[in-house]
Every structure is written in structure tokens, then in C-alpha cells.
Amino acid sequence: MSILNILCYPDPRLHTVAKPVTVFDDKLKQFIADMAETMYDAPGVGLAASQVNVHEQVVVIDVSESNDQLQVFINPEITWASEEKRIYDEGCLSVPGIYDGVERPAEVKVKALDGDGKPFEIHCKDLLAVCIQHEMDHLKGKVFVEYLSPLKRNRIKTKLQKEEREKQRNQAGRR
């Protein structure tokens, strides 16, 4: 297994729409294992393939406290969303250190395929519902900060760009 490089906002590749997975083979299983290792290492509770610059509809999630309940969603589709909405403070591995409230349906039903290509359906609520909706947004090329006001979005973009420039300067200074 290996740790994958996570793209950071405002990288334009985060806006690429993912394509459905059509081949379920050992390469896909290895990619899922690498995604899971990357998510746990970050640490995070969810990761979409788009965030590691692979534009296929693959999501890994583990909202357990013990990090031992990995869920894999391939080609996920929301089949039902509750009318009740909730605002959750969301963060994102592609937007490090930033958290803000996003309103989403409180519950959703999702149908997807597992790593072997077997279909399943799951009713999600609470953190799992937020997480699956957040990760599915990534597959559509959308980052959670796009739900925020243009002013907040621009401040976040400027802050992250500045941090990236400083990081690159520091790395160049060590050479």
C-alpha cells in the first residue's frame, strides 16, 4: 500500500467530473487500499478518488472512532434525500485547516457498488450522511467551500495559496 498525494484547493483538477468505474479488478482493489491508507494517514473520515487526481467514481469512508469500519462506495447515487436539512461544520482533506457550516439533507439513501462490483443500498444519517454527500460532491467536481459565500471562498483560496507559496519557499531554501 502507499500514501497518495491529495490535491489541495484551489487546484483546478478538483473540478474534474469523475467517470463511472467499469472494471473491477486487482488494480481497483489496490487503489481502494491506497485510498484508505491515505485517508487514515491524513487523518480524515472520507476521501474521493478525485482528491488524489484519479477521476473515477470511488469513495472510501470510515466514520468510526476506531478506524476499523471502512466503507467503499463505487459509482454512488443518492436515491432519496430527506426534506429535513441540517447544518454541519465540514472540513476537507483538500482544504486543510478550514471548517465551516454547510446545509445538507439530514438523511439520504445511497445505492452503490462495493469493491467487488456487488450492488448495495444504505440509509445514511448523521456524520455518514454528511460525509457521503461531501465525497459525492468531489466526484461531481465540487468542493465544500463552493457552498460558502464568495467572500469566504476568496479568503480561503488566498490563505491556502499563501501557505502553499511559503511551503515551496521553505522547501527551496533547504536545497
Q: Could you tell me which residues are annotated as the binding site for Fe cation?
A: 92, 134, 138
Q: What angle do CA 28, 32, 33 make, to 5 degrees?
A: 115
**Which residues are bridge partners to 108 per DSSP?**
81, 124
Asked about 90 being catalytic, the answer comes back as no
DSSP 75: E
Binding residues: 92, 134, 138
Q: Which of 107, 135, 146, 164 is catalytic?
A: 135
DSSP 7: P
Cell 487514515 appears where?
40
Contact assessment for residue 30 and residue 48, using Cβ atoms and an 8 Å cutoff: no
Q: From 141, 131, 124, 147, select the one nearest 56 (Cα to Cα).
A: 141
Residues tagged active-site = 135
